[in-house]
Amino acid sequence: MLNRRDRRNPNKAIVHVTNRTKEGLPFIARMFMKLIILGIMARGQKKYNVQICHFIWMMNHYHMILAGRGKHISPFIGYVEAEVAKAVKRLTFIFGDRVGNVWERRFREQKICTGNDVIRMIAYAYANPVKAGLVAKAIQWKGCSSLEMYLSGTNSYIASWLPSRKMKKLPLYVTHKVDIELVKWFKSIVEERDVLRIMPNIWKNFLPETKNWTDAYILRQVLDSIKQIEEMAKKSHGHFMGMKAVQQQAVNRRYIPEKKGRTPFLICGDDELRVQEILSYRDFCKQCKKAFKQWKQGIYTAKYVYGAYRPGMSILGNLRAEVAKISKKAIKKAEVRKAFTFTI
């Protein structure tokens, strides 16, 4: 239970979302792939009204920091992952003609508890290519990322969307020249254009201790954190692969990531607050189990705690519930009619 989404405060959620592919490195760090992903994200944002704070796409996984209504996050991520999976299958030979999931698992969603935790996760996301030994500086990453938009103060981007059925297989190596040709082809046949909006600091309105933080202060803290990660990576790696070498890798290169353990459902650097959050969430789960037990016993009016979702009812269960409602209304009407007749 503790690695699933915390639903207790669905209207003011600040979450870190991540997932990775089963195998391969399909998200090549080229402009063509960047346009495809941005178009999908923009269309998903338009459909589900999600507030995107920050994002970065590595070669085989992504990180996003989202804020706002929790009920919109799952449909948004589900849409993005489904559309990206379709595009990957059409563009690369990694998954061949197999039917199955491109993604390794269901996406992981973690609640971020404090302002310092948010800053730490923003820096962690943007410095991912540095920690992986790919580039020496976070700004050098040429894959799909919102870092340049964040640093330049640009909050919107006109993205182009193309359905996966119109995409064609990429060549084994996507050189700079091939990338330019693919971008021209992509822009010539796009079907829709949507505005992708990022709200890098909207999250500060959801936490009491960060409401008075200025955007300049947050940016300074994020850059300092990224710099620390870059310095630590320089000591541990010594040599970085470099963006040129990264882009020269074959599209269908085989790569199977190491398996990782369970991801905690929250990110909290405050020990006391973390204990409170875990105990509170356990109590939340306990109440949900109690309500579900009543539901299994046929008590379909069992009350669920705020933030929880009722299970999908069977046809018979729905019918019983409707009959119960009709019966109550009929009895009430009969009582009112009887009382009215007696008065006359």
| CATH number of the domain bearing residue 250 | 3.30.70.1290
Angle between helices 215-237 and 115-126 (to 10 degrees): 50
- The per-residue pLDDT for range 165-176, each reduced to its tens digit, is 888 888 888 899
Q: Indicate whether 275 belongs to any domain.
A: no
Q: Indicate whether 4 belongs to any domain.
A: no
Which of these ranges, 279-283, 301-305, 331-335, has the smallest mean pLDDT?
331-335
pLDDT of residue 12: 74
Residue 112, beta-bridge partner list: 267
Q: Indicate whether 125 belongs to any domain.
A: yes
pLDDT of residue 54: 97
Q: Which DSSP symbol is given to 134?
A: S
pLDDT of residue 3: 44
Q: Indicate whether 282 belongs to any domain.
A: no
pLDDT of residue 1: 38
Q: Kindly state whether residues 190 and 317 are assigned to the same domain.
A: no
Q: Which two tokens stand for residue 68?
A: 């706002």
Q: Residue 342 above 60 pLDDT?
A: no
Q: Kindly state whether residues 210 and 128 are assigned to the same domain.
A: yes
Q: Indicate whether 286 belongs to any domain.
A: no
Mean pLDDT in residue range 211-228: 95
Q: Indicate whether 211 belongs to any domain.
A: yes
pLDDT of residue 121: 96
Angle between helices 70-91 and 31-48 (to 10 degrees): 150
Q: Kindly state whether residues 81 and 198 are assigned to the same domain.
A: yes
Q: Kindly state whether residues 62 and 170 are assigned to the same domain.
A: yes
Contact 160, 263 (CB under 8 A): no
With CA atoms as reference, report the closest residue to 16 among 214, 263, 210, 223.
263
Contact 156, 35 (CB under 8 A): no
Q: Indicate whether 313 belongs to any domain.
A: yes
Q: Which of the four pLDDT bands, split at 50, 70 and 90, describes residue 344? A: very low
Q: What angle do CA 90, 95, 97 make, to 5 degrees?
A: 70
Q: Kindly state whether residues 255 and 335 are assigned to the same domain.
A: no
Query: In the listed set 216, 235, 269, which residue is the last one of a domain according to the structure?
Result: 269
Q: Kindly state whether residues 224 and 90 are assigned to the same domain.
A: yes
Query: Range of 297's domain?
Result: 293-343
* Cα–Cα distance measured from residue 102 to residue 81, given in angstroms and rounded to the nearest whole number: 9
Q: Kindly state whether residues 303 and 335 are assigned to the same domain.
A: yes
Domains: count for the chain:
2
Q: What is the mean pLDDT of the chain?
A: 84
Identify which has the larger pLDDT, 294 or 320: 294
Q: Which of the four pLDDT bands, split at 50, 70 and 90, describes residue 117? A: very high
pLDDT of residue 336: 53
pLDDT of residue 131: 93
* Cα–Cα distance measured from residue 14 to residue 203, given in angstroms and rounded to the nearest whole number: 6
Q: Kindly state whether residues 207 and 334 are assigned to the same domain.
A: no
Overall pTM > 0.85: no
Q: Indicate whether 69 belongs to any domain.
A: yes
pLDDT of residue 219: 96
Query: In the listed set 228, 253, 269, which residue is the last one of a domain according to the structure?
Result: 269
pLDDT of residue 328: 61
Q: Kindly state whether residues 196 and 243 are assigned to the same domain.
A: yes
Q: Kindly state whether residues 128 and 32 are assigned to the same domain.
A: yes
Q: Kindly state whether residues 106 and 228 are assigned to the same domain.
A: yes
Q: Kindly state whether residues 243 and 308 are assigned to the same domain.
A: no
With CA atoms as reference, report the closest residue to 229 among 314, 120, 91.
120
- The per-residue pLDDT for range 131-161, each reduced to its tens digit, is 999 999 999 999 999 999 999 999 999 998 8
Q: Residue 71 above 60 pLDDT?
A: yes
- The per-residue pLDDT for range 314-330, each reduced to its tens digit, is 545 555 555 566 566 66
